[in-house]
Structure formats: structure tokens, C-alpha cells
Structure 1
């Protein structure tokens, strides 16, 4: 029997760029998760009898909220729920499941690269029927509904056994616990030349993949070690844990330092990689070389034709605005359209559905293609391995050749995390007000050529997204972008993106901090970062 439970709104349930993310203790408040899930269901139409996909990255609270979603899905009229074994589904795998089984949509339970555990972070986001994150018109409607919600629907049943494959009846609805890896792994086998990668590995090529005790562990064990024949131990930290082993599952040089140490050590493997909490981000390393996410996007786009799934060429390349222009140069050389979007994978969905792009990427370590509607960490790793197998060169050699052909975009992101929200907003507000007067202003060796706030007119549906980042363009082509992140759960994070281009005949082997030193100083000066934040250095540099 359906139960109607009275509730009152919470005023803090506005989804960010990747759904609703809060501290676990916030989600543990009475009716908090229920309010948000019901708000999602209330703004959707015509899902009676349809299929809902549910799963997450295994973080603390994952199993509890899955049981809540199952009960509420039954009460609201869904006909079927597909849930990953143990509650596990990586974000790209969930997108694939939605598409493969023609589901109405899905709820992905994750806070991505944020830490997990009783005192850390949790999140929920809704993905639509194309497998991608809900567009702003839906997330805005969810937020509006959450502000007035007065009831939610549920059923009173025992918990579903999430650790046994098969079907269960729940108040007239079918719940099927599925293998979370199989469909995704089969998709990867269709896209990439597994035989070539197997031969590469069998010939002595060594790789190391750090799953960071997050969701990609089971996927990497199955694909890299079982299907591709990499030795046992290739995948480290491969068991998903509710607190990610006490670590921060963000694949960068700070939180994946053990992998960096391994790849820059005396007996380094040939290739190193990592993924994040929910499996949609990637870190790419060669022996003694870190490939920035922006450079990785460009190199993958330039070489994608070497993989069977992309042998016919690309329809276009898309990147988020803060991502470096390295991919632009590849697009120009290949005669492809280049699309510049706001940050957030949902903006790529329309382009992919319309056949306007094949490969997309963000500087925040997210890369993917039209095989799903999410960024995909293991996909990027496998495309790199396919390229390495075909070209027979090292990562360093491939990147050196890339820069010699296209030039090099020296690039870094400086994150100032845990700022007082008011101070961060004041910094952005003051800088926004100063934009009209900045052109012509000189700081150090740099002169501002243009300054604006990025907005995006979607070429597919005509929607306009404003306030997507403050941009300073300098004479000579260098630039700085300032954004407040929408992926944190407490305080504010200021992201500062720094970029300078060096042509193919220029200096291509400089250290990035030295190449960007004048831009770093200009960012501090023009935005008043030390004055507003009290910080003299970023928390994380990527």
C-alpha cells in the first residue's frame, strides 16, 4: 500500500553542476533525501510502468538511500528498477545501462571526486533517458518543487537484497539486481582493439591503475586484468570502500601521489592511470610525464581514428570554456567543428545527441565520447592504451610529437578550497564590476586585450546560460579564467585557470610553473586573491 508522508521543505536543495551534494549529516536529516527524490519524481511526466536505473559509487549512505529510492519508485508508479550488485554502478556505466535498456532515467548516488565517510560527502543526481545529466530546465524545476514540497510517497517493505543477482517484486514493481560491469565491459570491447592491447601487454608493456578504493575497482579488475591480461596487482586500491580508505578519490598529483611517485620513480611502469569516486574522471601518466587533462583531450582527439570505434572519424570536438585551447588546434587541423560550452557535462548532451560532436572533455579530468552521455575515466584509459598499442611509442614520445605538430598550451588550474563563501563571492563581484575597465591595463609584462563574462547559447535547443566564468584575454593570446565551483559541499572553491600558448617552433619543454609565472602574478593582482581570501597559495594545483 502506498503511504503518503507529510513533510516540509528544506531550502538548500538546489542542484549544482552535478546534482545535489551535501555532507552526509545533511542527508541524514529526517526526510532530506526523501524530499529531494520526491521533488525529482514530481517534475517528471509519463513514467508510469517505466524503468528507473539506480546505483552509486559505494560511498557511505549509498545502500541506505538506494533502499529509500526503491520504496519511493514503487510508490510513485515505476514498473521496474535496475540496480547494480552491491549498489555499485559507475556513472558512465549507469549512463550506458539507461541507454542499453531504454530506461526512463536514473538516479546516480555519488559526490564524484569528493571524500566519503560518515563525516564527508554524499550526492544525488538525476540522469534523463539519453543517459546524460538532467538539463537546467529540469534541475531548475526540481529546485522549485523542493521549495514547496509538502509530502512524499513510499511503501512499507523490507530492504531488497542488493548482494544477490536476480529479480524481486516490491509492491507490484520489479527490482532487478544486475551485474554492474558486464554491459559496460562489452561496450568497451566494441569500441577498442582489445587484441592489440593484449599483445602490447603480453610483450612486456607495464601499466598501473589506481582505483582509489572507489567504484572503478571492479571494472578495472575485470577489463584490465581479466580481459586484457594485465598481471594481478596492476590494479591497486581496487576494492570500493564507503570511506575510500580514508583518502580523497580525486585523481590528481595531490591525492594520487602514490601513483605519481611510482610513475616518476626509478623503475616506473610504461603507463599509469587513475579514476575518481564515481569513475567519470581520469588521470593519465607516462613514465616521467604527466599529461594534463586538456592535453589528453587534444591527443585523444588527434589519434582516436586508431581505435575501431572511431575509425570513421569524428563529427566534432567539444570542450568546456575553462579547458585549454589545445583541442581547438586539433579541430582546426582536422577540419572539424569545435564547440565551447560551460562547465558541466550536461551541456555536451545536446551536441552529442544532435550528432555535432564525438569527443568531449573538461579540464577537470573528464573526457568522453558519444558512446554514453557522461565523461568516462576507464574509456579514456582504454583509448590511450589502444593508441599506444597501434603507435608503438611511449606516452612522452606521443606528446612530444603532438606539441611539435600543434604547439603547446601551457596550462594549470589553481583551486582555492574551503573559502568563506561571502569572501569568494565578493572577489567575483568586484572583478565582474571591473571587467569593462580592464582592457588596456598592464600588469607586469602582460596587457589585457579583452575581458568578459562567458555565456552560452545552446545551438541545439536555443537555451541561454549566463554567468559561466570571468575571462581575461591578454595580448599575445594568454588568458585567465575565474570561476566559483559548483561541486563542493561546504564553503566555496575559487578556480583560477591559467593558459599560455607556445607555437610549434617555440619552447615546448619548459616547466609549467615557470611558463605561467607572469599569469599567476597577474591573477593575484587583478582579482585581489590574497586580499579577499587571505591565501598566498592555492590549495591544489592541477
Structure 2
């Protein structure tokens, strides 16, 4: 995908969305379940869509929340449901729709006391904390499309383990929600919002103070404070905007929010690589504003709207590649935490092989799983995984005492970890990356995307070893062809081809009408491009063989 001529530049009037029409479309447009794109569909991060495209409308939320209420009842979950939302325009009306259904079903719902925003990791932490100390089982819903453009909406369900719901659960919710849609919402129980807001089933709590106080259980905040690390924070208009001041106050940290704006149009954002407004804290284009300030702070950090992702900017190297920071974080944590010797390092199969080399250097077991943070949930919950991370800049790790912190991605702790690394070692994460690369090899990493139809995505999902005819990749002997992840033998929804010094993985997106090719070389950029080219040839051949 080529770089748009306006990438990294301020949004223009024509780039901004009509918030009034988006809200109107949410309530007025009705999905047709006979149209695949208008059905409820849970990908790796819940159901996402846009009201204008009739893929995220009030009927979707009413049906999903009714399905979740029924699922809770079937499972016997009698604890609270923690309900959060981010700063996307569709999150506010969806929050209201969700409340009206959940309360009508006598679900005990807990929300932020001032009706403010709640990040994904906070919901995870609330669930884990409640279920550790109570017999009743709590779960949660977060209304967010993550880093997706301003016109999008999303909703995801976290069961009592606190992390993203497994495929078996989301399939049940998805199927029931589509049944409800097909039946004209006749099975939906619903209250008027004003009645729901006064219900005894609704509780309001100070999530901000709860989460901020507990952060010292997972990060050495005293070291950061003592070292006087200056941290610049750009929340990118996201749900953690009110959390950073509380964190700074409670732990005596030197934090400055460089952009305090919350605007559902996200018109303050520089345009992303493709010329769209997208709050991707791993993108140098979306993060260009913070990158320009890198010399003003010891460490600068950014997050996406629901704060489950992180972006790390250093004076020495600018915005870090997410893979590079994951490798540095793992190397630091496994040498500065007193965790059990047997703990594993979790990575998705499209994350850098530099992580494999770090694990080998540290003599720690590595578990490589398919894309999706749900695969790390059990290991983080029982403490057998020290760390779980994705190449898309999402990760979490154990608390200082080796207990579970979150079972969902936590952008706060990853950002604060960057500050801790500098405070404790005197070197910033990019300087540590350079040392690792000098010792273990410097990776060249790339990802390309292309539009894909539903039929093409289905072909990619079913790729296997039999579809790879060649025995070499970019001049090297192929040592592995994977359709299932080595860490848990789960299907990867695509194929990964590996050599000694490179690899590629091809798979369809779970949330967008595209497919992705991930690739890496430990030789040079030319070798990387050759890997990508051969991967594209393989994908094209698969489509051709399927008559597409």
C-alpha cells in the first residue's frame, strides 16, 4: 500500500465525518440479516462496523446485549457486569442502548461514576479484582472499535477471566444476536434510558482511582518518580485522558499531557498512511505530532482510544517499532522481576522472531500462538505466562509478585514500563533495542495489506502446507510451513512459511475486508521485499486456483 500524499499532515475539512448524520444513521438505519455485511460478526476484537454502512447500528447493539444477558443467565454469572466505553462518536449512543437492555434483563451493571470513559485494561482489571475476592462471577462489555476511524463503532465481551472472549463464546453470542435480529428484535427486553439510569441494578463507581492506585502492583513507579523521568503523553483523544493526571498525582510522577483534546471527529489527528483519520499509536504518521516533541521529554507515549495499545517515542530513536519494544520489554522484565523460573513468553506468530532469539538467550520457554490476545488469557490468569504480546502494539504482563495483572492488553503499563526501563537502567528502550540487535541480529519487518472479498478471505483461512509447492523462500530453504500455531496447535487462519533468516505469514483480517501479509528478514531490506513478493505470488495463486 503506497503512502498517501497527505499522510502525517493535519486532517482537512473533507477528511472529517458528519457526526450528526452518523448518530442519525445509528438510530434510523436497520440491518438486513440476509446481507452478510449487515449481520453481527465477531472478529478477533468483537463486533465492529459503521452506522452509515449499516454494520454498527442500534439494532446490532440491542441484539448483542440481549444475547450477552441470556448467556450470563445460562452460565450462572450473578456478579456485576462492568460496562465501559471509549471516545468514538458511536460509543455514546451504543452505551445508552446497552444500558437500556442490560438493566431490563436485571443485569447488575457498574459504570464510571461521572459517566466518563473507561479503557479496556481497566475493565479487565475490575473483573479480575472482583472475581478474586468474591464468589459471584463478574464480566464486562467495552464499547470501542479500538484504533479504527472515527466513523466506526465496536463492542467486545470479556467473560469472568477478564480477557477477550474465546471463539466458542463469541460464536454463541453472534448466532443468538443474529437470531434476534431476524426475529425483528421481538426477544429484546428494553427499558427507557431514564428508567434504567434510576434502577437499583445500576451502580456507579470511581474506576479511575481504583485503577490508578493499583498500578504500583505492576510497575516500579517509585523508581520512575525518584529518577524524575519526564513523560510526555498524547492520549490521541482516547478513553484514558482522565487517568493520566490521577496516576501522576497518586504516584508523584512528572507527566504532561501534550494534547488534552477529546473530539469524537478526531479532527486533531494527523492522517494515517492511507490518508484516513486513524488513532493508531504504532503509526509514525498518526503519531507525527508526538514524534515532533520527542526532545521535550525523557520518554513520550501515546495510546489508542480504548488504551489497549501503546506507542513509545524516545529521544534517541523516535517512535519505536512495536516489535522492537516488545523484545526490549521481555528482555528487561525477565531480568528485573523475581518471577517463577518456569514462566513462558507469549507471542503471536506474526510478531518478530527477535522475540524468539531473546527467549533463547534468556533460556525461557516461548509459546507462539495465533493472532488474537485471547490466546494469552489462560496463561496470564494462572501466572504461567510472564508476558503476552502482539505485533500490533498490544501487550500485558504479570504483576510484580507474579500474580495476574490483566488478561487483556494494557497500554498504560506498557507505556509506564518504558519509563521504568529508563529510570532503572539509565538507557531508554531504543538504546536497549540497538544492543539486542547488535547481539542477536537486526530484523527488517514489513506488513502489506490488500482488499479481499469474503470468498478470498475464506480461501486464505483454509491455506495449508499443501498449498505451498516450493521448498525455498527468497533463496533460503524452508524449514517450517505452519497452518497451526506451535504454542497451542490452534489453527492460525492462514499460513506461515519459515526459513532460518526470514518468514512470512498470510491471513485475512478478522475485522476488515482486507488480507495481510506479514514478513521479516534478518538479512536485509532487499531480502525482506523478496519474501513479500513471493508471498504475494503464493496468495494470488491460491485465489486463482479457487477460481477467484
Alpha-carbon spacing, 1:524–1:155, altered in 2? closer, same or farther (3 Å): closer
Match of 1:409 among 437, 443, 455: 443
More strand by share: 1
- The alpha-carbon deviation at position 513 of structure 1 amounts to 4.2
Alignment partners' CA distance in 1, 2:496 and 2:332? 30
Structure 2 residue aligned with 1:71? 100
Q: What aligned pairs does 1:37-436 form with structure 2 within 5 A after superposition?
A: 37-44=65-72, 45-47=74-76, 49-83=78-112, 85-102=114-131, 104-116=138-150, 120-149=151-180, 150=183, 151-159=186-194, 169-170=198-199, 172-173=200-201, 175-201=202-228, 205-224=229-248, 227-230=251-254, 234-245=256-267, 247=269, 248-251=278-281, 252-263=283-294, 267=295, 269-289=297-317, 290-304=319-333, 310-312=337-339, 315-370=343-398, 371-416=405-450, 419-421=451-453, 424-425=456-457, 428=460, 435-436=467-468
Structure 1 residue aligned with 2:16? none
Q: Tell me the secondary structure at the aligned position of residue 469 of structure 1.
A: strand
Alignment partners' CA distance in 1, 2:363 and 2:79? 42
Alpha-carbon spacing, 1:312–1:347, altered in 2? closer, same or farther (3 Å): closer
- The alpha-carbon deviation at position 431 of structure 1 amounts to 7.0
> When the two structures are superposed, what TM-score results if normalisation uses the length of structure 1?
0.80
Native 8 Å contact 2:56 2:154 kept in 1: no
RMSD (Å), alpha carbons: 3.0
Alignment partners' CA distance in 1, 2:429 and 2:290? 16
Structure 2 residue aligned with 1:437? 469
Structure 1 residue aligned with 2:515? 494
- The alpha-carbon deviation at position 429 of structure 1 amounts to 7.7
Alignment partners' CA distance in 1, 2:486 and 2:195? 44
Structure 2 residue aligned with 1:480? 504
Q: Tell me the secondary structure at the aligned position of residue 43 of structure 2.
A: coil
Structure 2 residue aligned with 1:508? none
Alignment partners' CA distance in 2, 1:331 and 1:21? 35
Alignment partners' CA distance in 2, 1:306 and 1:21? 39
Q: Tell me the secondary structure at the aligned position of residue 437 of structure 1.
A: coil
> When the two structures are superposed, what TM-score results if normalisation uses the length of structure 2?
0.79
Native 8 Å contact 2:504 2:517 kept in 1: yes
- The alpha-carbon deviation at position 129 of structure 1 amounts to 0.7
